Amino acid sequence: MPRTPLIAGNWKMHGLKDALGFFDELAASGAVSERRELLVCLPATLVAAAVHAARRHGIRIGGQDCHTESSGAHTGDISAAMLRDAGADFVIVGHSERRADHGETDDIVRAKAETARASDLTPIICVGETLEDREAGREEDVVGRQLAGSIPPVFGPADYVIAYEPVWAIGTGRTASAGDIAAMHAFIRSQVPDGEEVRILYGGSVKPENAREILALENVDGALVGGASLNAESFAAIAKSS
Ligand code: 13P
């Protein structure tokens, strides 16, 4: 079964209501096509309105995190069931910013992935090594451990998406080399059950200038784009490179 490319934006903590014209602009750019899936993961406050603005164009909406439980006494948290109820189709779990800022462990990420799936969302499970790990040559050990701990063992290949985001390439303008990306994506595919069918995205300073080279790599099935997804023109240019 061919793996349909998935081009996903992650707006992080950016975006107010007046940013939602983005979806009409993205559609007008001609980036929407049956050849690829387009997704934007937004702040929770924008999800419902974005679904309204994006669905008619065939663009999907996701959240950026969810709680491990579907409801409960957890002030300020958002559950997968709530994101689903607002119309989301995907949710990012285990982004390195959450692993670092909120102390999220592989066990927590796995529980979030499970609850996301149970709510009919597709989790995008993020993994990636730090610069220190890479300089010490232990990037495969680190990512291998994150995969083993973060992906629920009961998951089939269509239940989730993996995003490989080397921490040192996020928001730094420093992209991993094509060789490093190709090697890590091949490693990841070899580590997960039915790996041939799992979509593996690359993230970390993806921009229009480097998207074509990255997206052409054999085991790269799409991108998770931060900064360059905030602008419809640059996100469209990346999408059209797939
Ligand atoms: P940048 O594209 O801004 O480097 O962010 C990548 C990322 O963290 C996407 O989740």
What is the per-residue pLDDT for 176? 87
pLDDT in tens, 144-201: 999 999 999 999 999 999 999 999 999 888 888 999 999 999 999 999 999 999 999 9
What is the per-residue pLDDT for 235? 98
Looking at the CA of residue 126, tell me the nearest atom of ligand 1: 10
What is the Cα–Cα distance from 169 to 171, expressed in whole angstroms?
6
Question: Is 129 touching ligand 1 by the criterion CB < 6 Å?
Answer: no
Contact between residue 7 and residue 242 where contact means Cβ atoms under 8 Å apart: yes
- Whether 74 is catalytic is no
Query: Which of 6, 40, 41, 165 most suits a substitution to test ligand 1, by most atoms within 8 Å of the C-beta?
Result: 165
Q: What is the secondary structure of 102-123 as a DSSP string?
A: S---HHHHHHHHHHHHHTTPEE
Query: Which of 95, 224, 234, 235 most suits a substitution to test ligand 1, by most atoms within 8 Å of the C-beta?
Result: 224
What is the per-residue pLDDT for 237? 98
Question: Is 65 touching ligand 1 by the criterion CB < 6 Å?
Answer: no
pLDDT in tens, 215-239: 999 999 999 999 999 999 999 999 9
pLDDT in tens, 32-86: 999 999 999 999 999 999 999 999 999 999 999 999 999 999 999 999 999 999 9
Is the per-residue pLDDT at 213 higher than 70? Answer: yes
What is the per-residue pLDDT for 174? 83
Three-state DSSP at 61 gives strand
Between 172 and 139, the more confident residue is 139
What is the per-residue pLDDT for 171? 86
Percent of the chain that is helix, strand, coil (3-state, to 5) = 45, 15, 40
What is the per-residue pLDDT for 143? 98
DSSP annotation of 176 reads P
Closest CA to 42 of 75, 82, 14: 14
Mean pLDDT of the chain: 97
What is the Cα–Cα distance from 113 to 131, expressed in whole angstroms?
26
DSSP element (H, E) containing 146: helix 139-150
Question: Is 62 touching ligand 1 by the criterion CB < 6 Å?
Answer: no
What is the per-residue pLDDT for 1? 66
What is the per-residue pLDDT for 173? 82
Region 115-144 average pLDDT: 97
Closest CA to 175 of 211, 199, 140: 211
What is the per-residue pLDDT for 97? 97
pLDDT in tens, 2-24: 899 999 999 999 999 999 999 99
Contact between residue 180 and residue 148 where contact means Cβ atoms under 8 Å apart: no
Own/partner contacts of 211-219, CB < 8 Å, gap of 24 or more, are 211/237, 211/238, 211/241, 211/242, 212/241, 213/178, 214/175, 214/178, 214/181, 215/5, 215/241, 215/242, 217/178, 217/181, 217/182, 217/185, 218/182, 218/185, 218/186, 219/182, 219/185, 219/186, 219/188, 219/189
Looking at the CA of residue 205, tell me the nearest atom of ligand 1: 4
Question: Is 165 touching ligand 1 by the criterion CB < 6 Å?
Answer: yes
Contact between residue 187 and residue 198 where contact means Cβ atoms under 8 Å apart: no
Q: Which two tokens stand for residue 180?
A: 């490093």
Q: Report the predicted TM-score, pTM, of the whole model to 2 decimal places.
A: 0.98
DSSP element (H, E) containing 28: helix 22-28
